[in-house]
């Protein structure tokens, strides 16, 4: 079986999908920062429902800092782990006010210093808001697809990100996240992957072609 190249994977994904820079709804950098934080262990669909109301109530870092904690928790409750998320939102808002004039910083180093913000969130913000490519955002879809397609043998987001950064051209680092998420949602799902319908079925090392589960 001829091994799939990264170039072939990207080319086929680009033919199939035209995803936005983020599946989360946002207007300002702060919106996207908060929405991405809320999306941990939650679907983008749910986050977009929650932020519709949240973004009307809170527009600035001051708004997030000053909103009573219980009101913020109630607003984001359905995203799960709402107590921790509310705490992080208020802590990071305080830092934005103190250190960044209330604005979202535009470097990986500054972003990952904020409570609740890891490399994945930072990479998404940098790409979607600032058009900067400083990493590959690795979420559960990206992890699963990278492993199944044979792009990484590792199992932690940090190591998978490093593997992907080595083999993916830098100009595609940002796009890779939403392309793989698109394929992960449509075809290579976690529980019932549809290998028979997959463009990679002939070459994918994890193909169950002819034996779909
Ligand atoms: S062939 Fe199957 S395992 Fe491989 S990418 Fe396609 S759906 Fe996923």
User: How many Å lie between the centroid of ligand 1 and the Cα of residue 3?
Assistant: 13
What distance in Å separates the CA atoms of residue 8 and residue 138, rounded to the nearest whole number? Answer: 20
pLDDT, residue 4, reads: 87
User: How many Å lie between the centroid of ligand 1 and the Cα of residue 187?
Assistant: 7
What distance in Å separates the CA atoms of residue 105 and residue 91, rounded to the nearest whole number? Answer: 15
Other CB atoms within 10 Å distance of the CB of residue 109: 9
Query: Which of 1, 191, 198, 209 has the most ligand 1 atoms within 8 A of CB, as the residue to mutate?
Result: 198
CA-nearest of 53, 47, 120 to 85 is 47
Joined tokens for residue 94: 């305080």
pLDDT, residue 1, reads: 66
Asked whether the beta carbons of 33 and 125 are under 8 A apart, the reply is yes
Report, in angstroms and rounded to the nearest whole number, the Rg of the chain calculated over CA atoms: 18
The residue from 25, 139, 163, 212 that is catalytic is 139
Q: Tell me if residue 120 is catalytic.
A: yes
Q: Name the residue at shortest CA distance from atom 8 of ligand 1.
A: 188
User: How many Å lie between the centroid of ligand 1 and the Cα of residue 128?
Assistant: 27
> Would you give per-residue pLDDT tens digits along the chain (213 residues)?
677 899 999 999 999 999 999 999 999 999 999 999 999 999 999 999 999 999 999 999 999 999 999 999 999 999 999 999 999 999 999 999 999 999 999 999 999 999 999 999 999 999 999 999 999 999 999 999 999 999 999 999 999 999 999 999 999 999 999 999 999 999 999 999 999 999 999 999 999 985 444
Neighbour-count burial of 125, counting CB atoms closer than 10 A to its CB (0-12 exposed, 13-18 middle, 19+ buried): buried
Q: Tell me if residue 25 is catalytic.
A: no
Ligand 1 environment, Cβ below 6 A:
148-149, 187-188, 193-195, 198, 200-201, 204, 206-208
Q: Name the residue at shortest CA distance from atom 2 of ligand 1.
A: 195
**Chain centroid offset of residue 147 CA:** 17
User: How many Å lie between the centroid of ligand 1 and the Cα of residue 167?
Assistant: 19
Long-range contacts formed by 157-166: CB under 8 A, 24+ apart: 157/119, 157/120, 158/119, 161/119, 161/135, 161/136, 164/136, 164/138, 165/135, 165/136
pLDDT, residue 212, reads: 43
**What domains, with CATH codes, occur in the chain?**
6-19+136-197 (1.10.1670.10), 29-130 (1.10.340.30)
């Amino acid at each position: 079986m001829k091994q799939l190249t990264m170039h072939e994977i990207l080319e086929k994904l680009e033919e199939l999908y035209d995803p936005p820079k983020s599946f989360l709804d946002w207007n300002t950098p702060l919106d996207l920062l908060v929405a991405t934080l809320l999306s941990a262990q939650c679907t983008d669909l749910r986050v977009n429902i929650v932020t519709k109301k949240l973004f009307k109530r809170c527009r600035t870092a001051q708004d997030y800092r000053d909103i009573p904690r219980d009101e913020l928790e109630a607003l984001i409750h359905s995203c799960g782990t709402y107590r921790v998320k509310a705490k992080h939102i208020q802590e990071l808002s305080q830092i934005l006010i103190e250190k960044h004039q209330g604005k979202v910083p535009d470097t990986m180093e500054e972003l990952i210093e904020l409570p609740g913000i890891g490399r994945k969130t930072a990479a998404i913000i940098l790409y979607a808001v600032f058009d900067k490519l400083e990493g590959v955002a690795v979420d559960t879809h990206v992890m699963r697809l990278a492993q199944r397609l044979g792009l990484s043998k590792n199992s932690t987001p940090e190591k998978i990100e490093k593997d992907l950064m080595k083999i993916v051209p830098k100009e595609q680092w940002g796009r890779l996240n939403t392309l793989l998420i698109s394929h992960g949602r449509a075809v290579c799902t976690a529980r019932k992957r549809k290998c028979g319908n997959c463009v990679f079925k002939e070459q994918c090392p994890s193909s169950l072609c002819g034996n779909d589960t």
